[in-house]
Structure 1
Amino acid sequence: MRWIKTVCLGLMLIAGVAHADDAVRPLPKLKLDSSRVAVAGLSSGAYMATQMQIAYPELFPSAALVAGGPYGCAGGKLQVALSTCMKGAPAPDVAALVTVAKQRAASGQTGPLTDLAHGRVYMLHGTEDALVAPVVAEAAAHFYDALRSEPGLSGLQVTDDGQRAFAHNLPIAASGDDCGKSVSPYLGHCGFDAAGAIFEHLFGPSAHAAAADARGQLIRFDQDALRPGGVDALLATTGYLYVPAECATGKPCGLLVAFHGCKQNVDAVGEAFVRDAGFNRWADVYHVAILYPQTRASFAPLNPQACWDWWGYSGANYDTRQGVQLRWVVNAVKALGLPVVH
């Protein structure tokens, strides 16, 4: 009878999200495969993804960074974020950042770097990016190459995809006239399916192509219910979760946490990123749920473009295990059913 109960619960989940735009609910429990969990992000979301990976490598050994720089780049200083970590003037000091990462891991501020031993890192950045300079993204590649040379980390797979001509956006499979521009909603019609490349690099090649349209369900959930210790993580009240049909029926499912970029949250671009970035189509192929957390804009603290915190507006420990946004993400994946022990 247990299988009947599982199927019924899955059907209830599917039915319950048919009118997702009208309901906000708690995150559902899924049967998550902890060996297929990763993070990805664009711009500030890329910085957030590398922070999650370094802080919690036992949960997120694999990451995809689109137009982002190396872990710890800003060092808690907005001016450094705006200069070194965006314009590359001066370029990030990769050796110093690697030293900081190693020191934090040794002190327990972040997780053991050896948990990255079987991880994968895919870095994608455009040659026409005028917002985050290519030299900054290359510094991220050098950062991971340096980690790979550390004892026990030779198995870390690092791919630097930096020779494609696109601006500061997430390329999508459709073609258009905005690939060389950085304009809202920051989904460049470049004829290159970045979401598909991200899935292939993080989860391996697939024998099947993605359908033209996603077949699962996009649901809205209550982000405030996941505040760590009740502390405001400076996020929006509502987040999004995409659940492929097979994941909803209780079958084992992977998980990708996808972080939007600045000015790319739902308040700014509607549901463009959570519906049109291409992740959901590939989620159906790979049987991977997609968590789309949402930030909010604010002036106190200063974050008018609704960026993820990669320079310290949420507190001094923003990029460690004490960071409130990072702890919120851990709460979210735990609520989804991922075993979390730390």
Structure 2
Amino acid sequence: MRKTLGLLTLLLLAPLACAAGAPSLPTLKINASRTAVVGLSSGAYMAAQVQLAYPELFPNAAIVAGGPFGCAGGKLDMALGSCMKGVPAPDVGALVAGATSRSASGDIGALKNLAHGRVYLLHGKDDALVAPAVAEAGVQFYRQLRDATPALKGMQVHEDGGRAFAHNLPVAGKGDDCGKSVAPYLGHCGFDAAGEIFAQMFGKPAHAAGRAQGELRAFDQDALRPGGADAFLADTGYVYLPPACLAGKPCGLVVAFHGCKQNAAAVGKAFVEDAGFNRWADVYAVAVLYPQTRASFAPLNPQACWDWWGYSGADYDSRQGVQLRWVVNAVRALGLPAGR
């Protein structure tokens, strides 16, 4: 009996011991003026949510194959219809008015913090999953938000929607998957989207990117739960540290959100190693944080998407959203100051 109880105790304590020994995020010298959020598909919607909820931390965003902020309105049927297929078309004017009102109430951040922001919106002409019309609505959302807000006249909005690729993130090599949407959703299109994203966010590079020379590290995501709340993320996330960051020099920060079915549990390290961000991170001296979701059936999220329709709660796209607060905990742990 004692042996049985002892074995049960060991089995119960083993997960706790593993969690306690998991690595934490390193503390870096983050330059708060060089930050951006980047995302593909559900990650694109997530990037927009982080930017609008916390513009004082992330005035810059690259949106790949995503639509306008607030599109789903907390409804899965709206997400699957209007916000993916474009039927009915997203009401951009109403979404802009909603964002303006939510900013005034403090539900999301102060829009004035986007005054010098850069927004790059990339989408493929052959995308059959998120219709080009939805991506165009995302472009119009930012343009109308800028035009309706006097403080945002300096915000740069750049659309890149004329390229022929499907629902994926284009990468530099060429292959037969550019026109397909297949795992790991990195289309070999001969277009280095990561390089263009970095140039749009931080300016022209000093030199071309080579092979990544920094370190890709795993870290404990559970340690960053906001108030202990479940953010519906995987146990482990990843962070890429370029040589400059490893040497203790000031560096920028990009948070890169994968798409549905593109998390590490589904595609291994394909996104965190092969999307192209790491080698450009070396050139720009920018750390790259790769948070990871987890698939679940309660709440219903079998494809491990980021929450852009409300599975984590009604406040999912606000400053109180549990995944957004997790992101804030993570970037502060990395050394990003609380405000600008």
- TM bucket (normalised to shorter chain) is over 0.9
Q: Secondary structure at the match of 2:150?
A: coil
From 114, 117, 125, the equivalent of 1:116 is: 114
Alignment of 1:1-342 (within 5 A): 24-149=22-147, 150-211=149-210, 213-341=211-339
Q: Secondary structure at the match of 2:31?
A: strand
- The separation in 2 between residues aligned to 1:341 and 1:281, in whole angstroms, is 28
- Code of the residue aligned with 2:179 in structure 1: it is G
Measure how far apart 1:24 and its partner are: 4.0
- Work out whether residues 40 and 65 of structure 2, in 8 Å CA contact, stay in contact via their aligned partners in 1: yes
Moved over 6 A (4+): none
Measure how far apart 1:206 and its partner are: 1.1
**CA distances 1:89-129 after superposition (whole Å, capped 9, x unpaired):** 01100000001100110000111001000000000000000
Measure how far apart 1:312 and its partner are: 0.1
- The separation in 2 between residues aligned to 1:148 and 1:96, in whole angstroms, is 14
- Code of the residue aligned with 2:160 in structure 1: it is D
Measure how far apart 1:276 and its partner are: 0.1
Measure how far apart 1:249 and its partner are: 1.2
- The separation in 2 between residues aligned to 1:269 and 1:135, in whole angstroms, is 28
- The separation in 2 between residues aligned to 1:298 and 1:207, in whole angstroms, is 43
- The separation in 1 between residues aligned to 2:118 and 2:28, in whole angstroms, is 24
Q: Secondary structure at the match of 2:160?
A: strand
TM-score scaled by structure 1? 0.92
- The separation in 1 between residues aligned to 2:151 and 2:99, in whole angstroms, is 16
TM-score scaled by structure 2? 0.93
Of structures 1 and 2, the larger Rg is shown by 2
**CA distances 1:188-227 after superposition (whole Å, capped 9, x unpaired):** 000000000000000111130000x210000000000000
- Work out whether residues 45 and 69 of structure 2, in 8 Å CA contact, stay in contact via their aligned partners in 1: yes
How many residues were matched structurally?
Answer: 319
- The separation in 1 between residues aligned to 2:280 and 2:110, in whole angstroms, is 31
- Work out whether residues 120 and 197 of structure 2, in 8 Å CA contact, stay in contact via their aligned partners in 1: yes
**CA distances 1:126-155 after superposition (whole Å, capped 9, x unpaired):** 000000000000000000001111211010
- The separation in 1 between residues aligned to 2:339 and 2:122, in whole angstroms, is 31
- Code of the residue aligned with 1:294 in structure 2: it is Q
Where does the alignment leave 5 or more consecutive residues of structure 2 unmatched? Answer: 1-20
Give the superposed CA RMSD: 0.9
- Code of the residue aligned with 1:162 in structure 2: it is G
Where does the alignment leave 5 or more consecutive residues of structure 1 unmatched? Answer: 1-22
**CA distances 1:9-48 after superposition (whole Å, capped 9, x unpaired):** xxxxxxxxxxxxxx84000000000000110000000000
- Code of the residue aligned with 1:241 in structure 2: it is V
**CA distances 1:55-74 after superposition (whole Å, capped 9, x unpaired):** 00000000000000000000
- Code of the residue aligned with 1:154 in structure 2: it is K
- Work out whether residues 72 and 78 of structure 2, in 8 Å CA contact, stay in contact via their aligned partners in 1: yes
- Code of the residue aligned with 1:166 in structure 2: it is F
- Work out whether residues 71 and 95 of structure 2, in 8 Å CA contact, stay in contact via their aligned partners in 1: yes
- The separation in 1 between residues aligned to 2:156 and 2:173, in whole angstroms, is 29
Higher deviation after alignment, 41-50 or 199-208: 199-208
Measure how far apart 1:320 and its partner are: 0.2
Measure how far apart 1:341 and its partner are: 4.0
Measure how far apart 1:159 and its partner are: 0.3
- The separation in 1 between residues aligned to 2:205 and 2:183, in whole angstroms, is 31
- Code of the residue aligned with 2:120 in structure 1: it is Y
